[in-house]
Amino acid sequence: MIRLILVGVLLLLSLAFFLQNQEQEVTLRYFFGLFEASTPIYKPILAGFAMGLLVSGILLFPPWVKNRLELRRKTKALQEAEGDLERLRLSLDTATGRTSSTLTGEAHRDRHDE
């Protein structure tokens, strides 16, 4: 939520900057002064902002993918462990002869005691 608010504030500040600097011109010199172009000042700044977003996106994408894969792997391992635990509980119940209705009452009582 805080990240969304910060992005909103940043966009509002960028919009205010854009609206205030529409008529100012800047001369850009490309290729060591061989080519020059005049443009409104907000265009190079907007291009720099876009390039920063692109570079940060490229740099942050691999760790994000790695974390998502690790989360998926650990979730799957947790589900398997829960399944194993449930199978062990059922095998223990059949070995001791308890029924599932007795188990739910005991589990409810155990939870209530905590």
Considering the chain, what percentage of its residues have pLDDT values greater than 70?
85
Residue 88 has pLDDT above 60, yes or no: yes
Give how far Cα 63 sits from Cα of 3, 51, 66, 72, 76, Å. Answer: 19, 20, 5, 14, 20
Of the pLDDT bands very low, low, confident and very high (cuts 50, 70, 90), residue 74 is: very high
Q: Output the pTM of the full model.
A: 0.50
The residue ranking higher by pLDDT, 59 or 18, is 59
* Average pLDDT rounded to a whole number, residues 78-98: 90
What is the DSSP-derived secondary structure letter of residue 22?
Answer: S
* Average pLDDT rounded to a whole number, residues 26-35: 82
Return d(Cα 74, Cα 76) in angstroms, integer.
5
Return d(Cα 23, Cα 42) in angstroms, integer.
9
* Average pLDDT rounded to a whole number, residues 102-108: 55
Average pLDDT for the chain:
83
Instruction: Note the pLDDT of residue 94.
Output: 87
Instruction: Note the pLDDT of residue 84.
Output: 93
